Amino acid sequence: MHTVRRYLLAVAPCLALGFAATARAAEPELLVFAAASLTNALDALGPAYTQETGQPVKFSYAASSALARQLEAGASADVFVSADLEWMDYAQSRNLIDRTTRRDLLGNQLVLIAPANSDVKLAIEPGFALAKALGARGRLATGDPDYVPVGKYARQALTSLGVWGDVADRLVRADNVRTALAFVARGEAPLGIVYNTDAKIEPGVRVIGTFPEKSHLPITYPVAVTRGAHAGAARFAEFLRGPAARAKFTQLGFRPLD
């Protein structure tokens, strides 16, 4: 009897670990809809989250407008991270997210970029010569200002500075910020407006200047768990606000928000 008891005491911890590992392995994979500008950060943080929790996570990146509309059309994502408040408001107004989980996650800056080998110099100020810097046929690459957050911020900034009318008909209306970034990096557009974090990770561009923060609405990335999300979704959203995620976001140029 004592031998059996000693055996059970010895194997109990192993059995408990085995059951815990099985439970963790059985957790459903999470799907996170996230703004394209978060690609590098979340691709780094996903494996860290899985290592910490045992739960796999994958990401779908696009413009926040496209992701919100996919949710509206019935896409079954678990977490939504938008690059502006408006598209999160859109999802919330349609009851697509759990509003109790909504938090403002990150801030960013808006910058004017050129190809790395460009010698264009501009001071970003009221009435600055943006159209002239584009040249006779050059176009300005940014997100579509009717839908894509970076384009909406760009329109606000250029309107505030009094030069929107000079370039409104000379835009490359990209479907997301990374597409706009690529146009400039490949030299297909002489200038572009993107987030500072995008410019930092692309060696094919250089930053000409940063737009004054008062020239546009604050660049804010909210996060929320979707309606009907899998178990673990709220935990992942909280992970994005934790110390490891904050350190990675800061390293890449984002500003974590409390």
> Of the candidates 245, 202, 221, 246, which has an alpha carbon nearest to the alpha carbon of residue 111?
202
**Can you give the pLDDT at residue 27?**
83
| Dist. CA 115–CA 254, nearest whole Å | 22
> Of the candidates 171, 204, 172, which has an alpha carbon nearest to the alpha carbon of residue 185?
204
**Can you give the pLDDT at residue 26?**
61
Question: What average pLDDT score do residues 105-118 get?
Answer: 98
> Of the candidates 37, 144, 137, which has an alpha carbon nearest to the alpha carbon of residue 155?
144
pLDDT at residue 16 tops 80 = no
- Calculate the average pLDDT of the chain: 92
* Domain with 202 in it: 110-215
State the total domains in the chain. 2
245 token code pair: 């995620």
- Residue 209 DSSP symbol: E
- In this structure, the answer to whether residues 44 and 102 fall within a common structural domain is yes
pLDDT tens string 30-58 = 999 999 999 999 999 999 999 999 999 99
**Can you give the pLDDT at residue 20?**
42
pTM, to two decimals:
0.88
Question: What average pLDDT score do residues 58-64 get?
Answer: 97
**Can you give the pLDDT at residue 6?**
53
| Dist. CA 198–CA 39, nearest whole Å | 9
- In this structure, the answer to whether residues 80 and 203 fall within a common structural domain is no
- In this structure, the answer to whether residues 194 and 243 fall within a common structural domain is no
pLDDT tens string 216-236 = 999 999 999 999 899 999 999
The amino acid that residue 158 corresponds to is L
- In this structure, the answer to whether residues 79 and 116 fall within a common structural domain is no
CATH code, 60: 3.40.190.10
As a whole number of Å, the CA-based R_g of the chain is 22
